[in-house]
Amino acid sequence: MKVLEVEGLHKSFPIRGGLLQREIGRVRAVQDVSFSIERGETLALVGESGCGKTTVSRCILRALPPTSGAIRFSPQDGTVVDLAPLSRRALRPLRRHIQMIFQDPYSSLNPRMLVGDIVAEPLAVNGVGSVEREARVRALLDLVGLPQSARTRFPHAFSGGQRQRIGIARALALDPRLVVADEPVSALDVSVQAQIINLLLDLQDRLGLSMLFVAHDLGVVRHVSDRVAVMYVGRIVEIAPTRSLYSRPRHPYTEALLAAVPKPDPELRDQAAAPRGEVADPANPPPGCAFHPRCPFAVDLCRTEVPKLRETTTGHMSACHRAEELTLTGVA
Amino acid sequence: MSASLTDDRMAQATQLQLTWWRFCRHKLALISLGVIVTFYVIAIFADFLAITDPHATDARRSYMPPQAIQLFDADGFNPHVNGLKGVRDLKTFKMTFAPDQGRKLKVVMFAHGYEYNLFGLIPTDRHLFGIEGGQPVDGIFLLGTDQLGRDVYSRLIVATRISLFIGLAGVTLSLFLGVMLGGISGLYGGWVDTIIQRVIEVVRSIPTIPLWMGLAAALPNTWSVTQVYFAITIIISLVGWTELARVVRGRFLALREEDFVIAAELAGAGQTRIIVRHMLPSFLSHIIAAVSLALPAMIVSETSLSFLGLGLRPPAISWGILLQDAQNVQVLSGAPWLLVAAAPVILVILAFNFLGDGLRDAADPYG
C-alpha cells in the first residue's frame, strides 16, 4: 500500500537577467524523478548539495510548485490525491498529513514561543481543543524523551539535540501519514546524531512511520532507511534496498559516495577514491550522462545518451549504461 | 543553587524580559531613558512647572537677564528673589536692570499664578512655585526674558509640549504608513513591491527643505495654530515613513524564508496566524528601535522648520520658535540667554539616539 508515489517530477527555476528581468535560462533542479514510499517504509534520498534532493522534498511538501509530474499521496487508506496541481487553499486540509523535520534545530523553532506552544501549534491550527491538546503535548514530550518541564521553557534553554527532539515532537503532533525529514541530523554533533537516529528508529518501530529521509552522505542513512535513492544533478541515478545498494552498488557515483563514508579502520583510510572534478552545473549540465566527466568508467555512449533508470536485479534500479558489466565495490 | 536558579530564570524568561536585562547593561541608554521620561513628564505638566504666563508680554521688562533664587538671607532660610529696577542707560538707550535694594519677593511653593487647564481638562491656577503679590515687572525670570518681556524659562517649559508631541504624532503616522506599505511590499512582492520601492526612492531623493517649503507655503495662513500643527505633523511624516517601510519590508522578506514560519505554514496555519503569531513578534523590537531613532529626526525637523519660519508660527510656542528669536546676532550679543532653547533640543536628540542604540542592541536577545 503506497503512501506516496512520485512520477515524472520536474522542477526548473528560471534564471532572469537584464533590465526587464527576462528569462535567460533555466536551472533544471529536478528532472524526471519517480519513486514511491510504502506504508511504514523509510526511503532515503541521498546526494551532494545542489543535486536537487531538497527541491524534491519541498515539492512533495508543496512549499514549491512542481513544473510538471504527479505527486500522488494517500491521506487515508483508499484515497489518493495528486498534490502537484492543487492550489494553496486546496492544500491546507491536506497539510496535516505530511509533516516535516527540519535540518536546523535553531531556526526551525520560533524563539518567542514556549516549547509547549510550539509542539501544540499544529494541533491548535487544526482545531484540537485545549484539554486534548495539553494531554497530547504531554504524550509527545514523553515519546521524544523530553521532560515535562520543557513545556514552560523557551527553545533557547535547550541544546541542539534537544531542540531537534522538539521539532520531531511537533512533526508527529498530528499523526502524519508521511514525515519528510530534511537532513535531520547533519547540523548536530556526531554523538548527538546517534541519539536522534536511535529516536527515529524507535519511532519507526512504535508508530510505523512512513518517512522520506533526505541526507547528503550515505553514512547516516544506512541504519534508518529501508531503501535508498541516490540523486545526481536532478536525477535519480540508483534506487535500491539499503542492503543491496551498500553491498553491491550499480552506479559509479554510488560507489564514490560509499567510498567517502568514513570508516573506523585506519588501514582502509587511503583506499577512498573521491570522485574527480566538480559537481555539474544544473543550469548547464553536460550532454549524455551528467556524471560522465567524473566517471572513471565512461565510454563514448555515456557522452551522448542520457541513461534511463532501469531494473538491473530485482528491486535494484540503476541509471548507468554499464550497470551490468561493471563490478563496483560497496561496503561490507 | 544560585546557578540553577538563574538558569531556570533564563529558560522561562520571555523575550521582553531578556531584552530588558540586556538593555539594562547599556548604561548610557538607561540614563537616556531617564532623560527622555523626565522630558515627557515636563511636557505633560508644562503649565504647572511654568511660573509666568508664557504669552504675557510687558515692554517694561524686555531683555531681562537671568535671575537666581536666593535661598538664604540674614534671617536664615528664606527663599526669595530680589526685586529689580529698570534704568535706561542714557548713552546707549539700553535698559539695564539693577537689584532694587530692600525689595524682597518671597518664593512660595504651589503658588497661585496664571490660569490654565491641567491636562487640558482641570482648570486651576496652581504652579509648582511662584511669587505672590508684586508688580507686573516683578517675577522669577530664571532664564531671563525676551524682547517682549516674556519669561524664557516658562516658554521653554511650555515649548517642550509641542516639540515632543509633534515628534510622537509624526512617528505614529509614519509608523502606520511604514508598516502598512512596507508590510504589503514585503508580503506580496512582485510588481506591488516594485512600485512601492520606487516611490520610496523618489520620496527619499527629494531634498527635504525645498519640499517642506513648498508644502508649508501651500498651507493657508488663515489656519489656526492647531490646524497648522497637524498639517506640519503630516508633512513631516510624509517623508519619515520611508525609512520604517524599508525596515518592515526587510523583516518580512527575511522572515518569510525562516524555517519556523515554513513550519507553521506546513502545519496548515493561515496567513493571519503566521503574521500575528510568528512574524510580528519577531520584528516588533526592531520597529521600536527604528521608532526611537525616527523620533529625534522628527523633532529636529519641526525645530528647523519653525526656525526657518516655515513651520509653526507664533503665538504657538515650540523650541524652533524660541530659537527664531535668537536668529539675530545683535540680539544674541545683548541677550545670549535666548540661545538656551538649543540646549533641550541637543539633550533630547542625544538621549533618543543613545536610547535607540541601546534598544537596537537589546532588541534581538537571541542574536
A window 162-201, beta carbon within 8 A of B:
167, 170, 174
Do the strands A178-182 and A211-215 form a parallel or antiparallel pair, or are they unpaired? parallel
Substitution target in A108, A109, A110 with the highest count of B β-carbons within 10 Å is A110
Q: Is A288 within the bounds of a domain?
A: yes
CB contact under 8 A, A92 and B277: no
Q: Is residue B11 part of a domain?
A: no
Q: Phi and psi for A6 in degrees, rounded to 5?
A: -100, 130
- Residues B94 and B213 reside in one and the same domain: no
Is the confidence at residue A312, as pLDDT, over 50? yes
Asked whether residue A331 is domain-assigned, the answer is: no
Instruction: Assess whether pLDDT exceeds 90 at residue B291.
Output: no
In a domain, B335, yes or no: yes
Confidence band (pLDDT; 50, 70, 90) for B310?
A: confident
Domain at B264, CATH number: 1.10.3720.10
Residue of A nearest to B285 (CA): A112
Per-residue pLDDT tens for B241-264?
A: 888 888 888 888 888 888 898 888
Host domain of residue B140: 60-150
Whether B229 and B281 map to the same domain: the answer is yes
d(CA A220, CA A257): 12
Q: Choose the closest CB to B260 out of A99, A109, A174.
A: A109
Q: Does A153 touch chain B (CB under 8 A)?
A: yes
- Whether A156 has its CB under 8 Å from any CB of chain B: the answer is yes
pLDDT one-digit tens code per residue, A109-168: 988 888 999 999 999 988 888 899 999 999 999 999 999 998 888 888 898 899 999 999
My answer on whether B194 and B126 are in the same domain is no
- Looking at residue B364, its pLDDT comes to 65
Q: In terms of CA atoms, which chain B residue is nearest residue A114?
A: B12
**Which residue would you say has higher pLDDT here, A308 or B105?**
A308
Residue from the list B259, B266, B366 with its beta carbon closest to the beta carbon of A99 = B266
Q: Are residues B186 and B318 in the same domain?
A: yes
B322 and B214 share a domain? yes
- Please indicate, yes or no, whether residues B129 and B174 belong to a single structural domain of this protein: no
Interface test with A, best of B266, B273, B277, B279 (most A CBs within 10 A): B266
- If one counts the domains in chain A, the total is 1
Q: Under an 8 A CB cutoff, do B264 and A121 touch?
A: yes
pLDDT tens, A82-110? 988 888 888 888 888 999 999 888 889 98
Which chain B residues are Cβ-neighbours of A61 within 8 angstroms? 266
Other C-beta atoms lying within 10 Å of the C-beta of residue A293: 16
- Please tell me which residue of chain B has the smallest CA distance to A102: B259
Same domain, B196 and B68: no
Q: How confident is the model at residue A56 (pLDDT cuts 50, 70, 90)?
A: very high
Widest distance between CA atoms in chain A: 67
Do B347 and B311 share a domain, yes or no? Answer: yes
Select the residue of B10, B263, B282 nearest A112 (Cβ to Cβ): B282
Please give the backbone phi and psi of residue B75, each rounded to the nearest 5 degrees, phi first: -85, 5
Q: What angle do CA B47, B48, B53 make, to 5 degrees?
A: 45
Task: Give the pLDDT confidence score for residue B38 in this predicted structure.
Answer: 92
Which of B150, B178, B204 is a domain's end point? B150
How much is the pLDDT for B268?
Answer: 83
Considering chain B, what is the average pLDDT of its residues? Answer: 80
Of B10, B260, B270, the CB nearest to A110: B260
- Using pLDDT thresholds of 50, 70 and 90, give the confidence band for residue B306: confident
Q: Nearest residue on chain A to B190, judged by CA atoms?
A: A21
The confidence score (pLDDT) of residue B4 equals 44
Residue B366 has pLDDT above 60, yes or no: no
Q: How far is A129 from chain B (nearest CA, A)?
A: 16
pLDDT band (50, 70, 90) for residue B5: very low
**Among the ranges given (A183-197, B16-30, B61-75, B163-177), the one the predictor scored with the smallest mean pLDDT:** B61-75
Q: Which residues pair with A26 in a beta bridge?
A: A14
Half-sphere exposure of B351 (CA within 13 A, CB side): 19
Domain with residue A60: its CATH number is 3.40.50.300
Residue B186 and residue B228 in one domain? yes
In a domain, B16, yes or no: no
The answer on pLDDT for B355 being more than 50 is: yes
Q: Given this model, what pLDDT does residue A222 score?
A: 87
**B201 and B160 together in one domain:** yes
pLDDT at B6 exceeding the cut of 70: no
- Co-location of B214 and B358 in the same domain: yes
Query: Do B202 and B336 sit in the same domain of this protein?
Result: yes
Q: What is the tens place of the pLDDT at every residue in A241-273?
A: 999 998 889 999 998 888 877 777 766 655 555
Exposure of A200 by Cβ count < 10 A (0-12 exposed, 13-18 middle, 19+ buried)?
A: buried
Instruction: Flag whether B2 is in a domain.
Output: no
pTM (2 d.p.): 0.73
Model ipTM value = 0.83
Is A129 among the domain residues?
Answer: no
Q: How confident is the model at residue A172 (pLDDT cuts 50, 70, 90)?
A: very high
How many beta-carbon contacts under 8 Å exist across A and B?
Answer: 74
The predicted pLDDT at position A288 comes to 86
CA distance A161 to chain B (A): 16
* Domain finish residue from B150, B173, B202: B150
B267 → closest Cβ in A63, A122, A153 = A122
Query: Does the structure show a pLDDT above 60 at B14?
Result: yes
Give me the residue from A63, A93, A107 closest to B260, CB to CB: A107
pLDDT at B225 exceeding the cut of 90: no
Point out the domain boundary residue: B91, B124, B150: B150
Q: What number of H helices and E strands is found in chain A?
A: 10, 12
**Chain B residues touching chain A at CB-CB below 8 Å:** 7, 10-15, 258-260, 262-270, 273, 277-278, 281-282, 366
Local confidence band at B367 (pLDDT 50, 70, 90 cut-offs): very low
Q: Flag whether A138 is in a domain.
A: no
What range does the domain containing A252 cover? 2-97+177-183+209-318
Q: Is the pLDDT of residue A239 over 70?
A: yes
- Check if the beta carbon of residue B73 is closer than 8 Å to that of residue B91: no
In a domain, B53, yes or no: no
Structural domain contains residue A36: yes
> pLDDT tens for residues B156-190?
888 888 888 887 888 888 888 888 888 888 888 77
Query: Is the confidence at residue B120, as pLDDT, over 80?
Result: no
- Count of domains observed in chain B: 2
CB A232, CB A291: distance < 8 Å: yes
In terms of pLDDT, which residue wins out, B137 or B141? B141
